[in-house]
Amino acid sequence: MASLTVRDVTICVIALMNFVFVFGTGADFVRFISFRAIYHNITGGAALCEDAVPWSVALRDNVVLKALGVDLALLALFSAQHSLLAWTPVKRVSQSVLGVLNRAMYCFTTALALQVLMHCWRPITSAPCLWSVRTAPWDIWFPLICFTVHFLCWAVICSILLIFDYPELLGLKQVYYECLGLGDPLSMKSPRAQRLYAHLRHPVCAELLLVLWLVPTLSLDRCVLAMYLSLYLALAHTLDAQDCAYLSAQLHSKLQLFSNPQGGSIQPSDNNDHKQD
């Protein structure tokens, strides 16, 4: 293996710093999505909404309307960044300019947009709740159930990301392969895997939807957040029958491997994809 050059060391440092920033943003996002919506119920914190105010009054309140406008603008900013940089012509230009750091910079800008969204988000506390569980004993038990489900969903999301080649998703693998002269790691995957990645770059839709909607109190700003991100997730993925067949084959291959690691019989086509993926 050739010795590392100054350029190699530089891009490695940039990729690692980006990984730390993205990882920290992910932890902040968990706090923003789950803890903020649940923890106040368990500790008896300040109410997230005001049921004494009629909807007819709340929807004419300048404070509510201004907060809604800010929140929608933040969501639009995030979706614009996430979609524009994933647009093929922009990706080609970005790839030509950034090279092997293209994926890392995409993750960085996504994390930066999320940080702006989370720090500038305007909770709407002067409007009624769409729902709120306040009747004993469910005012205690339901938040605990939500907390448990959220914890399990985030655990599943982390597990899926580990299985789904997270170093490549975050741009680390591209830099590592570049330094070793191995080329693009995505090009070494099977054609069916590349096709799946193009249609399902974020394999955590169901879990994230559950986390967005399963809350003890659904305030107006939380409803806007959940509806917008649910619609965005629904429109962002285009899985078809071929992708589902590939996922089924991969799942069968991995389950067969785990059930009989010493002498399991795996079909050649599945085994080939398993090695490449």
Q: Could you tell me which of 28, 126, 113 has the C-alpha nearest to residue 68?
A: 126
Angle between helices 268-276 and 191-199 (to 10 degrees): 60
Residue 115 has pLDDT above 60, yes or no: yes
| Arithmetic mean of pLDDT, 39-55 | 74
Domain ranges of the chain: 6-239, 244-277
Give how far Cα 144 sits from Cα of 122, 133, 147, 157, 217, Å.
25, 12, 5, 20, 13
pLDDT for residue 52 is more than 60: yes
- Measured between alpha carbons, how far apart are the two ends of the chain, in Å? 24
In terms of average pLDDT, the best of 134-138, 149-153, 176-180 is 149-153
CA-closest candidate to residue 222, choices 91, 80, 34: 34
Dihedral sign from CA coordinates of 222, 223, 227, 230: positive
Average pLDDT over residues 70-87: 91
> By C-alpha distance, which of 187, 200, 201, 205 is closest to 244?
200
- Quote the CA–CA distance of 222 and 213 in Å, as a whole number: 9
- pLDDT band of 181, cuts 50, 70, 90: confident
Per-residue pLDDT at 248: 59
* Residue position matching structure tokens 């109190």: 217
Which of the residue ranges 51-60, 101-110, 152-161, 246-255 would you say has the lowest mean pLDDT?
246-255
What is the model's pLDDT at position 206? Answer: 77
pLDDT in tens, 219-275: 999 999 999 999 888 776 555 455 555 555 655 665 566 666 555 444 444 444 444
Q: What is the Cα–Cα distance from 106 to 91, expressed in whole angstroms?
A: 9
Distance CA 31, CA 150 (A): 11
> Quick one: pLDDT at residue 78?
93
Q: What is the pLDDT of residues 211-231, one digit of tens each?
A: 999 999 899 999 999 999 998
